[in-house]
Chain A
Amino acid sequence: MAKVTVDGIEVEVPNGATVLQACEAAGKEIPRFCYHERLSVAGNCRMCLVEVEKAPKPVASCAYPVADGMVVKTDSPVVRNARRGVMEFLLINHPLDCPICDQGGECDLQDQAVGYGMDHSRYREAKRAVKDKYVGPLIKTIMTRCIQCTRCVRFAAEVAGVPELGATGRGEAMEIGTYVEKALTTELSGNLIDICPVGALTSRPYAFVARPWELRKTDSIDVQDATGTNIRIDTRGPEVLRILPRINEDVNEEWMADRGRFSFDGLKRKRLDRPWVRVDGGLRQASWPEAFAAIATKLKGMRGERIGAIAGDLVEAESMFALKALMAKLGSENLDCRTDFAAVDVTRPDFYRFNTTIAGIEEADALLIIGSNPRTESPVINARIRKRWVAGRFPVGRIGPAGIDLTYAHEHLGEGPDAIRALLDGSHPFMEVLKTAKRPMVLLGRGALMRADGLAVLAAAWEVARQADALREDWHGFNLLHLFGGQVGALALGFLPGASGQDIGQMLNGGVDALWLLGADGVDPATIPAETFVIYQGHHGDRIAGRADVILPGAAYTEKDGTWLNTEGRVQRGHLAVHPPGEAREDWRIIRAASEALGATLSFDSLAALRDAMALDEGLERRFVADATGPAADPSAMSAAPFVLPLANYHQADVIARASDVMAQCAATYAAPMPVAAE
């Protein structure tokens, strides 16, 4: 530890810390542009200059290591003058276009110019102008505003793992860009907007939409992948205008994936805003009482075992709990939440959760990925894996389709379960890598379970973890990576067939006469028998809604208070940011109202009462293995069929994204053969 005095305040910081960190420890704010905690230090903006006693001139605190006994001044006349000088130089080529700049109001340069800028410019020459660059359909560039802090260059190379941005040219002619015109091949590109301290990189969909002080900010959770990214929903009136990540070190740090960030325009399209009832073969607009009456007419008197319910991928825990309770009252155990037909074993929570935890990835020292492409299934978790890989000594093996760029080096062990067999019988050398590792991780993709032998794959992956000694009292190395925000919540609530209940396959096979689809957009309408009475409750008129006999318009994740469990099983709560459109209502209320119409009134009539009844385990302490016994299935039952990745199209993987125009543009840009494929 080094003792440093900052403006008379004595602080102790670890050796190797920077002066800037010492100043922050002392509670002093140091202005900066190029410095970012999660990126390498560049030291090129010079805004963080401080005075260090015995140093001949001001030093850039972000790049200057502390020494014991150092005396730092952060607010002396020398420092203030130095920073004013830096600011004057930064502003020489920066346009005075704040009034038409989307960064206005949340711009680091604007804020710091208030503190260190002059009230006029002494610069009389021509300012330089830089041609705007194309870096993809999500990011708008106005490169004349760029102050060349190179945060974006470092983010792309270090965090996203796509070294495609760079600074070309030199001096006055230096420009940030890709040099060749191309869209950045990353699912994390939205973070460039957050990371840019000026208005050079801004959100294309948000261009000229709003000023930050007009927005109401609501904390919520991204449900469009299973990461559980903490988000802030910015709204004005009834409209969601943008979604930004919040910092949560345990989950998403401060990153966010593009689908969650940019697909909210899908919340305004193809929405179900009033109930519909099928009359004489055609869907007709109806009122809520009419819709409930249609359901009651059909369901009353029907035997419980002829009624089924299927929950979708984005649904929050509350409404699933309510629907499960309703089904119980109706005498039905026919529940399922696996519209993707994934085989899961819920006898123990750690059979279906990401037990290492996302933050725990950084402690792992070997990784085996089975049947998953974390880069598209959870870009943020992939960035965390990459962060661990960059730190060094992190062998990664992957079983699944060949030719996938995970943004970090990995060994491709095989395409199908045969590779798992080879690991288990010790004939593949990577097993030795896992065994010698102290904290090995096995990451099993949900996609690997979407097959007839899914349970056997699950058991085999567990067995690999067990043999690698990844299941210990001080380390849990077995992880299941889910795809969407509602999936783990459904498993935790047991939205699964009861002892005598039917699963989704049986229900779709004529096992039920009435089917309640709660946001189950993944069900293929063609698989539902013609005589089945279908109630669809959800927020988007996707293909399945057209098959419904009664449509109950529900709320999207931005429009309700809800609880979601991420792939770790972390219980997180989102809040209502805007009200559902038109007649649409929060889903648990719809179910509660329907229960009354069906004469099976549920006991709770407020969200608080529902949550009390639900009693989800709120804690997420690090889980360790008391019992390494695996899922009951037999690993040897695995077929030889190679694994198929579940998300063919990252940008249109869920119902909200499919309704989004922005995501459609992305899909058109990225689904086309990527430029890298030529190599």
Chain B
Amino acid sequence: MSFEQPTHFAFDESSEAEIGKILAKYPEAKKASGVIPLLYVAQRQMGRSTGSAWVPKVAMDVIAGRLGMAPIRVYEVATFYFMFNMKPIGRHHLQLCGTTPCMLRGSDDVMRACHDAAHVQVGQTSADGLFTLTEVECLGACVNAPVLQVDDDYFEDLDYERTVALIEALKRGERPTPGSSIGRQTSAPEGGPLTLVDVPGVVVAGGE
């Protein structure tokens, strides 16, 4: 649990550009509504600059100042949503869904793969600092179960081997294409389209 809180935080140029777009959505008097997007901006910036996407206290203070809120109101929001990491995490945040559909489709194997390949237990960060593993509730991608969220990307239709391959690729610094790991289009049926294939004039992507 012990870690050091940075003493200084300032938004960089690309964060400022994002913030400009975010705050343009809210009237000046209601700019506090931007607190959640701004927390994301801060978390992503920490990921870019330090390799660990988390929100330090000083960043919350900066956001509070920017939005004219009391700092405690920002702490309340940030600690309420577990998507905001209140302590440093690994380079990649592995968030594995273990809710019923994913569990039925083999999330336990994916979990095992994470243990074996990334050498990390739930709630911990691997010794090499590359991975933090979190078990999460439904990610809303049940049709492509089991799902592993790596940072902001979903990797779907996983099994043990493909998860190991994914983690090994991440270790090499590669970034595999997100989405279905068996190549199906979004949540279309496995093996290609089965309906509407004989309608004249309709060309179904992925069909013959």
Contacts and interface: CB of A to CB of B under 8 A. Distances in A.
A501 B32 CA distance: 63
A178 B79 contact: no
B206 to A, nearest CB: 42
Contacts of A180: 57, 71, 75
Contact of B75 (A170, A179, A679): A179
B3 interface: no
A169 B70 contact: no
B57 A157 contact: no
A179 B72 CA distance: 7
B65 interface: yes
Contact of B70 (A163, A167, A170): A163
Contacts of B76: 166-168
B73 interface: yes
Interface string B73-85: 1011001101000
Given A180-B57, A679-B65, A164 B70 contact: yes
Contacts of B71: 179-180
A679 B71 CA distance: 12
A168 B73 CA distance: 9
B86 to A, nearest CB: 9
Given A170-B80, A180-B57, A679-B65, A163 B73 contact: yes
Interface in B25-82: 57, 65, 70-73, 75-76, 79-80, 82
Contacts of A167: 76
Interface residues of B, number: 11
A169 B72 contact: no
A368 interface: no
A166 B80 contact: no
Contacts of A165: 72
Interface in A627-679: 679
B73 A166 contact: yes
A178 B80 contact: no
A157 B57 CA distance: 20
A178 B72 contact: yes
A163 B72 contact: yes
Contacts of B65: 679
Interface string A560-584: 0000000000000000000000000
A169 B80 contact: yes
A170 B75 CA distance: 12
Size category of the A interface is 10 to 19
Contacts of B72: 163-166, 178-179
Interface string A145-170: 00000000000010000011111111
Nearest to A676: B71
B63 to A, nearest CB: 14
B134 to A, nearest CB: 15
B78 to A, nearest CB: 8
Nearest to B76: A166
A163 B74 CA distance: 11
A608 B70 CA distance: 54
B102 to A, nearest CB: 22
A179 B79 contact: yes
A438 to B, nearest CB: 26
A163 B65 CA distance: 14
Contacts of B57: 179-180
Most A CB contacts (10 A, CB to CB) among B65, B80, B82 go to B80
A593 B172 CA distance: 97
Contacts of A163: 70, 72-73
Interface in B72-129: 72-73, 75-76, 79-80, 82
A166 B72 CA distance: 6
Contacts of A679: 65
A166 B73 CA distance: 7
Interface string A126-162: 0000000000000000000000000000000100000
B55 to A, nearest CB: 13
Most B CB contacts (10 A, CB to CB) among A157, A165, A168, A170 go to A168
A164 B76 CA distance: 11
Contacts of A157: 70
B40 to A, nearest CB: 18
Contacts of A168: 75-76, 79-80
Most B CB contacts (10 A, CB to CB) among A157, A178, A180 go to A180
A169 B82 CA distance: 9
A178 B72 CA distance: 7
B66 to A, nearest CB: 13
Contacts of A166: 72-73, 75-76
Nearest to A173: B79
A157 B76 CA distance: 14
Nearest to B82: A170
Contacts of B70: 157, 163-164
A288 B70 CA distance: 59
A198 to B, nearest CB: 21
A170 B137 CA distance: 15
Contacts of B79: 168-170, 179
A179 B74 CA distance: 10
Interface in A170-203: 170, 178-180
Nearest to B70: A163
B65 to A, nearest CB: 7
B93 to A, nearest CB: 19
Contacts of A169: 79-80
Most A CB contacts (10 A, CB to CB) among B71, B72, B73, B75 go to B72
A169 B75 CA distance: 9
Nearest to A157: B70
Most A CB contacts (10 A, CB to CB) among B57, B65, B70, B73 go to B70
A320 to B, nearest CB: 45
Interface string B2-22: 000000000000000000000
A163 B71 CA distance: 8
Nearest to A162: B70
Nearest to A164: B72
A170 B80 CA distance: 5
A511 B75 CA distance: 63
A172 B65 CA distance: 30
B171 to A, nearest CB: 32
Interface of B: 57, 65, 70-73, 75-76, 79-80, 82
23 contacts: A157-B70, A163-B70, A163-B72, A164-B70, A164-B72, A165-B72, A166-B76, A167-B76, A168-B75, A168-B79, A168-B80, A169-B79, A170-B80, A170-B82, A179-B57, A179-B71, A179-B72, A179-B75, A179-B79, A180-B57, A180-B71, A180-B75, A679-B65
Given A166-B76, A169-B79, 8 more contacts: A164-B70, A165-B72, A168-B75, A168-B76, A168-B80, A170-B79, A179-B72, A180-B71
Nearest 6 interchain pairs by C-beta: A163-B70, A166-B72, A168-B79, A179-B75, A166-B76, A170-B80
